[in-house]
Structure 1
Amino acid sequence: MQSDRKMLRDDQWKKIEALLPGKVGDPGRSGENNRQFVEAVLWIVRTSSPWRDLPAELGNWHTTNTRFKRWGEAGVWQEIVEAVSGDRDMEALMIDSTVVRAHQHASGAAKKEGRQAIGRSRGGLTSKIHVAVDALGNPVRWLLTGGEQSDMNQGLPLIKGFQAKAILADKGYDSNVFVDYIHANGMLAVIPPKKNRLVQREYDRHLYKDRNVVERFFNRIKQFRRLATRYEKLDRNFLSFINLVFAYLWIY
């Protein structure tokens, strides 16, 4: 019987087990406790507890934290989510962003340690997670910026290279460059025009209602409290949590 501290069912574990370091044939240490380790990181990202409060049954907090960072540096978390996110429904792509308040402990990292996408906006120190989700609400691409960054500047990086029937976004993404790119690539732009446009564009108002899919996605990820408030100083570590949560949602 699984402890109520654990999140992975057996069928979910089987989907990622072979993707993790330490399996037969890999150099270095054994991955015998990989499941316990992933459960430990999921517990941290779900509860937002300090690493020192990790339950003893999930391992030593210091070695778990160190291993979490090493996997992030090696790109393991990114590889996991890329491996499990192949079955995409490209009927439509919905894009949006969510602001994450940065805890005071998240600021102050030395530049030489790595990138830190934390900016100052009206809400104080914040980061933004920009996401494109498919028609079923699964994440297909995401970017991390400071909270002061405009959504419009991230629209093209979120969809470039993808081919969907329609791109759904709110009026914050209404720009001629972005809309022209969508149309030039044979996709439908479902983006309300800003009020200050001299000529108001038409858009499919009925289809636009489906944009709530991306809003529901943000509601889901904010249930993982470590994504609702940023405690990590470095982007690399915060993105590791993001990648793990997004992989979990793909295999849920």
Structure 2
Amino acid sequence: MIRTLLSDKVWKKIEPILPGKEGDRGRTAADNRWFVEAVLWIARTGSPLRDLPSEFGRWHTVYMRFSRWRQTGVWQQVVNALAGETEIDHVLIDSTVVRAHQHSAGASKKCGPQALGRSRGGLSTKLHLAVDSAGRPLRLIITEGQVADISCAAELVEHLRTEAVIADKGYDSDAFVNQIRAARAKAVIPPRSNRKTKRRYSRALYRTRNLVERFFNRIKHFRRVSTRYDKLADSHLVFASLACSFGPLLNVNTA
């Protein structure tokens, strides 16, 4: 028997926005819930699509539908539906490196961005994440593994109205701190050791930064996120976004 993840409560949030409902153009999709379960099964187990259990249908059909939803923005609508509206007290940002399997390389450039970095340790990708003080995901960016954290900082917090931005020393930049202050928020970022003038920051607020680190730990229970197997950056971003959205709502046990 296949272990499923979707509860009725979560399904009711996303069901109305999925294509293939009665009244939509084209063929009616009666198996939307089972298809989402198939994608979550792949994300949780990290298995190749060709090893998808037959109960979910033909693996190639699942793959083509997954790609079609990615290209038409359906997965992003699912993420937005699960996020809902929320007031943001504090924004916490950080990044994590994801090791990429050797099979993730080799895609043609014309197929789309790959976001694969090469180093002595092999291929890698980096996920840059912003969460709120309740541990809910706000924004996710994917880059090559060697990209510096500060390079995505401005984009992570852009247009997010908050009282404070909390980050580690890797985000200590005059330009970034000025951007935060211009938005009338506090910059809770420890100064680097080589700064001549040390900037003050709230140590009490900084201690809450473990929220974003714990969030990374949670989404890496999805093995398709902890190791990258996808050739295209957009595909890996979909799996990471789904893990961010479904992870806090599901009791994920990979044992």
Same fold (TM > 0.5):
yes
Aligned-CA RMSD value? 1.2
Identity %: 53
Cα deviation, 1:75-125, whole Å, max 9, x if unaligned, reads 110111112212324110000001000100001111111111011235321
Q: Does 1:43 align with 2:41?
A: yes
- Report the 3-state secondary structure (helix = DSSP H, G, I; strand = E; otherwise coil) of the residue aligned with 2:98: strand
Aligned with 1:189: secondary structure? strand
Name the CA distance, whole Å, in 1 between partners of 2:31 and 2:89.
39
Gaps of 5+ in 2: 251-255
Match of 2:229 among 223, 228, 231: 231
CA–CA distance in structure 2, aligned partners of residues 226 and 110 of structure 1: 21
Which residue number corresponds to residue 8 of structure 2? 10
Distance in structure 1 (CA, Å) of the matches to 2:84 and 2:49: 32
Moved more, 8-17 or 220-229: 8-17
Matching residue's letter, 1:26: D
Query: What does residue 134 of structure 1 align with?
Result: 132
Task: Give yes or no for the alignment of 1:80 onto 2:83.
Answer: no
1:104 maps to: 102
After TM superposition, give the deviation of residue 12 of structure 1 in Å: 1.2
For residues 1-252 of structure 1, the aligned pairs below 5 Å read 3-249=1-247, 251-252=249-250
Give the number of aligned pairs: 250
**8 Å CA contact 1:132, 1:139 repeated in 2:** yes
Whole-Å separation in 2 of the counterparts to 1:156 and 1:195: 22
Q: Name the counterpart of 2:253.
A: none
1:89–1:136 contact (8 Å) kept in structure 2: no
Equivalent position amino acid for 1:152 in 2: I
Residues 140 and 241 of structure 2 are in contact (CA less than 8 Å); yes or no, is this contact kept in structure 1? no
Look up the SS of the partner of 2:17 in the other structure: coil
The TM-score, its normalising length taken from structure 2, stands at 0.95
Contact 1:190/1:203 (8 A) holds in 2: yes
